Amino acid sequence: MAASDDYVVGVDMGGTKILAAVIDGKGEIVQQAKTATKPKKGPDGVIKRIERCIREAIDGAELETSQIRAIGIGSPGPLDPETGVIIFAPNLGWSNVPLKAKLETIFGIPTCVDNDVNVGTLGEYAFGAGQGVKNLVGIFVGTGIGGGIILDGKLFHGINKTAGEIGHMIVDANGPRCGCGNFGCLEAVASRTAITKELQKAILKKGQKSKLLKLNGGKLDQIRSQAIAKAVKRGDKPTVKVMQRAGKYLGISVASIVHFLNPEMIVFGGGVIEAMRDSLLDPIRQAAAEYALPTTMDGVQIVKAALGDNAGVIGASVLARQRLS
Ligand SMILES: [Zn+2]
C-alpha cells in the first residue's frame, strides 16, 4: 500500500469544537470537518456529533469507511488510554464515558484515545517541530498548562497514566493557590488565567497605566493572548513585567525538566505561545539557562510548536498508527 493512500482519521475533541481529519501515511490532511461540541447534549449526543463529523470528513475525501484503517482521538481528560474511557472531563461534564468502545461499535474500526495534550505532543514529534528527535517534552500554555512526554518515540504515561502534568509542577511553594488546591503550581503563575489575574491586579487594583485595556476592547475580565502580544510589542510596562515573570517561571520549569529528564527538545505550544512567539520564548530560554546546572542545557532545543491548530488531528492520527503497529 502506498503511503499516500494509507488512511486514518484523527479527531481533536475540545469543550467547544470537534475537528476530524482524514490523514494519509505522510501525515498530510486529505480532508477536514469541523462541528460544535455542544456538551449540553450529554455524552451520547456529543458522540453522535463526533460520528457525523468523522463521516463528513471521510465523505469529503471521497472515501468509504472501509478504507479507514484506524481512528485516533485526542480528548480532554483524565482518561485511560488503554481502555479508552474518559474518566472525568469537567469541560464536557463527562465521567466514565467509554468513548473508544462506543465509536468502535459505531464504525467497526480500531479506535484509540489519549489526552489532548499528549496527542498534540505526539503530532509535533512525528510531523512538527520535533521531527528527527527521539525524546521530547511538549508544554502547552493556554487557559491552563498541559504537558506531554515522548521517550524513545513513544508517549510516556506513568503508572496512573498521569505523567506530563507539567502545569502542576510546583515552581514556587509560597506562590499563589492553583485550581488544584496546591500553591505555586506552574499553571498558577504562568497560564493565561494566572497572567490575567496579575494584569488585573497591576492595572485595575494598583492603577498602573496600560495600553492593554484599550487593546482588549475596554475590559480586562478575559484577556486575549493577541491583546497581550500587542501590548508587549508596544512596550506596555505592566504587561511586559507580568509576561517576563510568566516567562521566568516557564524557564524555571524547563530547567527542572532538563535536570530530571534531559530531553533533546522542549516544544512550546498553545494560544499564549502562538501569539507571543519569541517575545515569550526568549525570556523562557534566558531563565532556563540561568537556572539549569552547568552543561545540562547543552544542545537542548527550546522551540515553538509547528503544527498550530492541526497538532490535535495530526497527533491523533499518529496515535492511531502507533496502536495499529
Ligand atoms: Zn496545581
**In this predicted structure, what is the pLDDT of residue 3?**
59
pLDDT at 2 over 60: no
pLDDT at 5 over 80: no
In this predicted model, what pLDDT tens digit does every residue of 109-121 receive, in sequence order?
Answer: 999 999 999 999 9
Q: How close is the Cα of 185 to the center of ligand 1, in Å?
A: 5
Q: How close is the Cα of 177 to the center of ligand 1, in Å?
A: 8
- Percent of the chain surpassing pLDDT 90: 95
Q: How close is the Cα of 2 to the center of ligand 1, in Å?
A: 46
pLDDT at 320 over 70: yes
pLDDT at 22 over 60: yes
Question: How many Å apart are CA 213 and CA 164, to the nearest integer?
Answer: 35
In this predicted model, what pLDDT tens digit does every residue of 308-317 receive, in sequence order?
Answer: 999 999 999 9
Domain extents in the chain:
3-124+310-324, 131-305
In this predicted model, what pLDDT tens digit does every residue of 191-249 receive, in sequence order?
Answer: 999 999 999 999 999 999 999 999 999 999 999 999 999 999 999 999 999 999 999 99
Q: Which CATH superfamily is domain 131-305 in?
A: ATPase, nucleotide binding domain (3.30.420.40)
**In this predicted structure, what is the pLDDT of residue 4?**
60
Do 23 and 7 meet the contact criterion of CB atoms below 8 Å apart?
yes
The arrangement of secondary structure in 3-124+310-324, i.e. its CATH architecture, is: 2-Layer Sandwich (3.30)
Do 176 and 167 meet the contact criterion of CB atoms below 8 Å apart?
no
Q: How close is the Cα of 169 to the center of ligand 1, in Å?
A: 7
Q: How close is the Cα of 272 to the center of ligand 1, in Å?
A: 19
Comparing 3-124+310-324 with 131-305, is the CATH topology the same? yes
How many other CB atoms are there within 10 angstroms of residue 39's CB atom?
Answer: 18
Please list the residues that pair with 140 across neighbouring strands: 146, 269
Q: How close is the Cα of 176 to the center of ligand 1, in Å?
A: 10
How many other CB atoms are there within 10 angstroms of residue 7's CB atom?
Answer: 20
**In this predicted structure, what is the pLDDT of residue 85?**
97
**In this predicted structure, what is the pLDDT of residue 170?**
97
Q: In what order do the strands lie in the sheet with 7-13?
A: 29-36, 17-23, 7-13, 68-75, 111-115
For 82, list phi and psi in degrees, rounded to 5.
-80, -45
To 10 degrees, what angle do helices 99-107 and 42-60 make?
Answer: 50
Cell readout for 317 is: 492520527
Do 129 and 136 meet the contact criterion of CB atoms below 8 Å apart?
no
Question: How many Å apart are CA 14 and CA 5, to the nearest integer?
Answer: 28
**In this predicted structure, what is the pLDDT of residue 90?**
85
81-85 contacts, C-beta under 8 A, 24 or more apart: 81/112, 81/113, 81/114, 81/115, 81/118, 81/155, 81/157, 81/161, 82/161, 84/111, 84/112, 84/113
Question: How many Å apart are CA 321 and CA 8, to the nearest integer?
Answer: 8
**In this predicted structure, what is the pLDDT of residue 1?**
46
Q: How close is the Cα of 184 to the center of ligand 1, in Å?
A: 7
CA 96 from chain centre, in angstroms, equals 22
> What single DSSP character describes residue 50?
H
Q: How close is the Cα of 72 to the center of ligand 1, in Å?
A: 28
Q: In what order do the strands lie in the sheet with 79-80?
A: 79-80, 85-89, 94-97
φ/ψ region of 153 (left if φ > 0, alpha if ψ in -120 to 50, else beta) reads left
